A and B are shown apart, each in its own frame.
Chain A
Amino acid sequence: MTQETQPPLLQETGIPLDEYQAIVRLLGREPNRLELYLFKVMWSEHCSYKNSRPLLRLLPKEGPAVLQGPGENAGVVEIGEGWAVAFKIESHNHPSAVEPVQGAATGVGGIIRDIVAMGARPIALLNSLRFGRPDHPRTRYLVRGVVEGIAHYGNAIGVPTVGGEVYFHPDYQENPLVNAMCVGLLRVEELKRSRASLGRPVYYVGSKTGRDGIGGAAFASEELSEESESKRPSVQVGDPFLGKLTMELTLEAIRQNLVEGVQDMGAAGLTSSLSELAHKSGLGLELHLDRVPQREAGMNPIELMLSESQERMVLVPRPGQEQALEALAARYGLDAVPVAHTIAEPVFRVIQAGQVVAEVPTAALADCPTYTREGREDPAIARLRAVDLNALPVPSNLQEILPRLLSSPNLCSRAPIYERYDHQVGTNTVLVPGWGDAAILRIKGTQRGLAVKVDANPRYSKLAPRLGAMHALAEAARNVSVVGGRPLAYTDGLNCGNPETPEGYFELSETIRGLAEASRALGLPVVSGNVSLYNEGPNYRIPPTPMVGVVGLLENLEHRAQQGFQQAGDFIVLIGALEGQLGASEYLWVVHGQEAGSPPPLDLAQEARAQAAIRALIEQGWVRTAHDVAEGGLAVALAEMCLPRGLGATLEVRSPARPDAVLFGEAPSRILFSVNQAHLQAAVKLLENHGLPYHILGQVGGSTLTILTPKARLEWPLADLRQAWEAPLREVLP
């Protein structure tokens, strides 16, 4: 059959013929229009992971602390004293490209509901953002909108936004990335899953259903084109006020032990939340559409089933608690309606006005065919990676390079962004944005704390997807370690291009393989995540962007580190090599205008030792200032340690290597820390015992950053560095 001779319904829904035939096989008959739409959304990439599921199996998911791995609304990890953390990352790239404020806001609302669905109280939000060139007006429009949307929702619902990262790169110009991560805290015994027992009423709680974002999940799986810009589904609007009430109602119902199962209503709305609830419970479900609270008159079954109206949850009361649940909802002024009930026959049955309007086996909706494809590296990327950088001239004036790097949009101060986020509501934020490589949250009533960070370097991943993914996990974990947290597990937001092209599939597959390898080497399981594919502009793919969110534990909060120098006279020690590499570095891009070479090699065993060593130093109480050496290299890392408290440093770096590689080159597994004289020897001994190379570089003090190299004395007044570092993002976000 050709395109023209396909049944009109296939053209309308965009379901490929082979999938349609699979549907007919599963049903044993032709589906009706509504049923076909149910398949369309459930078999979309966003809901079915049809291109990524076989690859995701490669990721290690087990660990002694893991209570819930991938497969539920969020992963859950035990942290001791009866507590556990639930966390997950979620993308909202396409909605944010269409309407940045609401796209970002509803992304935050959605990930919060996933955490609440596990029975956890959200205690922290993070976000990972990618935009195009900062001087482009559309980029400014997107940055302002996205930041406003995140602030609007997170601030109002009262969950602090404690961290994140932003990267500007021309390959995101048309297709920005907006991923939000949420971390929640729960008592182990209150862990909830998306489950219902037989014959239970299933309650719809929260906001009414309107024609919002019809087909959003399917939309998320299409490339952004001129056409989709005009096709714009009706935009979903976030309502943090109702979101807050819905969240409090759900958590209170769990605390009072009124419910046996919880499920959020996210992408693909009623269809996905109810059919998955039934399927995971090994049951069927009968849904009465007439009972669904509706905001607009005259909504048809397809609209009701596909609506992505926000601030809705599904609660399954325990037997006898129906009235209590309804009374609780009334207190919050929310709708709580038994719209469905579970049945033994494993089918998803939709009833309207007494008629069955759709009936499909629950397993069929879940059993989307998966695809394993042929991947092939884009030869252009391989060529870029092979570029010889040794021939690059060493700049004559090294002095002027540091301020230039500090004012690069990827390295400059993020304060104009995080100042707009409430990062303290909840009074648990011990390390606020700008003061550490990871945020720290305390757990009230214990000595414990959590360290959280999300990370991904698009340049590394663009030039070497597998190595880049390994770096992403290593760096996120390193950031958690340098504040004193022991990494427990991670969540990953995989943002890639079109998997139906060999290049796109190659990048997705390499990224996951890299993550898997780093996971095993670092002993970190993945407990949740998200895949967002088809991220492309009109004539290019985004770089594969694996946003890795790591959560770590501090057993004793007293022992933690921040990034800024705190005490004049302290000695400054570098763990790792003095020299970095130019390949894929920020320096190479900013100063030489090139994105080429290979990202630095990564020795995962040394990485693990470096992280263990810095944690031990912090745990001993010897180190209270530590910072990892990342983009921009040694000089930038040192400046970042001077700026928080305006305390300078004088250091000597003696290396025969080219000075730009020493000062600005990049390499993993490198950590700077400061230590007072009394503990210097012990600290050094500890590094030796861990088999780590190290260098004692100098001392803290003064109001300049001074670096003595074999050939030159470089001296920067901190005031100048601060100015270079603080100005650029203020222009984008005044």
Chain B
Amino acid sequence: MKVAVIQFPGSNCDQDALWALRLVGLEAELVWHTERSLEGFQAALLPGGFSYGDYLRAGALAKFSPVMQEVRRLAQRGYPVVGICNGFQVLTEAGLLPGALLANTNLHFTCKEVFLRVERTDLPFTRAYTPGQVLRIPIAHGEGRYYADAETLERLEQNHQVVFRYTSPQEAPSKEGYNPNGSLNDIAGIVNPAGNVLGLMPHPERAVESVLGSADGLPFFRSLKQALEVVV
């Protein structure tokens, strides 16, 4: 049950993801983007950062990395594949998830805490949450505005593929201001129809210890651990 943390040139949350995975007792290793085999790994995590400097478009150049063939193979075989932030952008660019991530409507990189509602708890990434639970998790991105055409959006909603949505904090409900980037339908994270490929803009690996201000991301990694134990 080993997780591959993919290192693209320019990834910068790779060590943070590794730390979080190991914190819950998962075995995890860094895999350089030129690797052509993910033999021995049962899951892949595409971390945050600026792969290829995010030049041209966030995630646009990373999809050509040799390791992506193997990530695709893992995904097709039903193993869990997670893309966080830049990793989510890479997954959409590579066509493993629908839609695209465009420049935030405020036009600048934004780093702050946001609130997320968990829409599904039957996934290998969310089983340790309760339905509708509201999480406090940081974001840090410049291109996180989820976009898909109307038809795709409709299909995502009907298939319950939206897993995380931006929301306001429970103690101060509000109708606006909580969506940090202009994402359609307040989408923060989605999953593929099979339920094994997940992408999200917020950073659960930055919220795994109370000393960091929130441990709401910990169940995310615990869920993954549980799921991988079942796989074996």
Contacts and interface: CB of A to CB of B under 8 A. Distances in A.
Indicate whether A and B interact. Answer: yes
Interface of A: 148, 151, 155-158, 239-242, 244-245, 331-333, 418-427, 429-430, 432, 442, 444, 557, 734
A158 B16 CA distance: 11
Interface stretch (B5-13, B73-81, B116-124, B185-193): B5-13
B212 A420 contact: no
A156 B10 contact: yes
B32 A241 contact: no
Interface majority SS on B: helix, strand, loop or mixed? mixed
Interface in B47-75: 48-50, 52-55
Given A332-B9, A427-B205, A427-B206, A148 B15 contact: no
B16, B20, B48, B211: most-surrounded residue (chain A CB, <10 A): B211
Contacts of A418: 111
6 contacts: A156-B53, A158-B12, A241-B9, A429-B212, A432-B213, A444-B19
Contacts of B34: 331
Contact of A419 (B9, B20, B49, B111): B111
B50 A241 contact: yes
B144 interface: no
B9 A333 contact: yes
Nearest to A239: B53
Contacts of A424: 111, 138, 140, 203, 206, 212
Contacts of B211: 430, 442, 557
A426 B49 CA distance: 11
A244 B13 CA distance: 12
Given A425-B16, A430-B212, A245 B138 contact: no
B113 to A, nearest CB: 9
Given A156-B10, A430-B212, A432-B213, A240 B50 contact: yes
Contacts of A156: 10, 12, 49-50, 53-54
Contacts of B10: 156, 241, 244-245
Interface in B140-198: 140, 142
Nearest to B112: A419
Given A155-B140, A420-B108, A425-B140, 20 more contacts: A158-B13, A158-B50, A240-B53, A241-B52, A241-B55, A331-B32, A333-B9, A420-B109, A420-B110, A420-B111, A421-B111, A422-B109, A422-B140, A424-B203, A424-B212, A427-B16, A427-B205, A430-B212, A557-B211, A734-B106
Interface in B1-55: 9-10, 12-13, 15-16, 19-20, 32, 34, 48-50, 52-55
Contact of A151 (B12, B49, B109, B206): B109
Interface in B178-232: 203, 205-206, 208, 211-213
A391 B17 CA distance: 62
A151 B108 contact: yes
B9 A245 contact: yes
Contacts of A734: 106
Contact of A155 (B15, B55, B109, B138): B109
A420 B55 CA distance: 18
B53 A241 contact: yes
In the A-B complex, list the 9 residue pairs whose CB atoms are closest, starting with the nearest: A158-B12, A241-B53, A156-B50, A427-B16, A422-B140, A422-B111, A241-B10, A424-B206, A420-B109
B15 A426 contact: yes
A244 B12 contact: yes
Contacts of A420: 108-111
Contacts of A157: 12
A156 B51 CA distance: 9
B55 to A, nearest CB: 7
A517 to B, nearest CB: 38
Interface of B: 9-10, 12-13, 15-16, 19-20, 32, 34, 48-50, 52-55, 106, 108-112, 138, 140, 142, 203, 205-206, 208, 211-213
A195 B82 CA distance: 44
A430 B50 CA distance: 23
A434 to B, nearest CB: 10
Contacts of A151: 108-109
A408 B122 CA distance: 51
A333 B52 CA distance: 12
B19 A427 contact: yes
Contacts of B20: 427
B5 to A, nearest CB: 14
A423 B111 contact: yes
Nearest to B106: A734
Given A155-B140, A158-B12, A424-B140, A148 B212 contact: no
A642 B217 CA distance: 28
Contacts of B109: 151, 155, 420-422
B207 to A, nearest CB: 9
A154 B111 CA distance: 13
B52 A425 contact: no
B22 to A, nearest CB: 11
Contacts of A421: 109, 111
A425 B19 contact: no
Nearest to A421: B111
A428 to B, nearest CB: 8
A417 to B, nearest CB: 11
A426 B12 CA distance: 8
Nearest to B32: A331
Contacts of B111: 155, 418-424
Contacts of A430: 211-213
A331 B9 CA distance: 10
A144 to B, nearest CB: 9
A422 B144 CA distance: 14
Given A158-B49, A331-B32, A419 B16 contact: no
Nearest to A161: B111
Contacts of B108: 148, 151, 420
A678 to B, nearest CB: 23
A241 B62 CA distance: 13
A425 B11 CA distance: 11
Contacts of B19: 427, 444
B212 A427 contact: yes
A241 B112 CA distance: 23
A424 B206 CA distance: 7
A630 B18 CA distance: 41
Nearest to B205: A427
Contacts of B106: 734
B105 to A, nearest CB: 11
Contacts of B32: 331
A423 B212 CA distance: 12
Contacts of A427: 16, 19-20, 205-206, 208, 212
A61 B163 CA distance: 56
A155 B109 CA distance: 9
Contacts of B203: 424
A332 B52 CA distance: 12
A734 B104 CA distance: 13
A720 B114 CA distance: 24
Contacts of B12: 156-158, 244, 425
B97 to A, nearest CB: 23
A76 B142 CA distance: 34
Contacts of A331: 32, 34
A240 B19 CA distance: 24
A241 B13 CA distance: 14
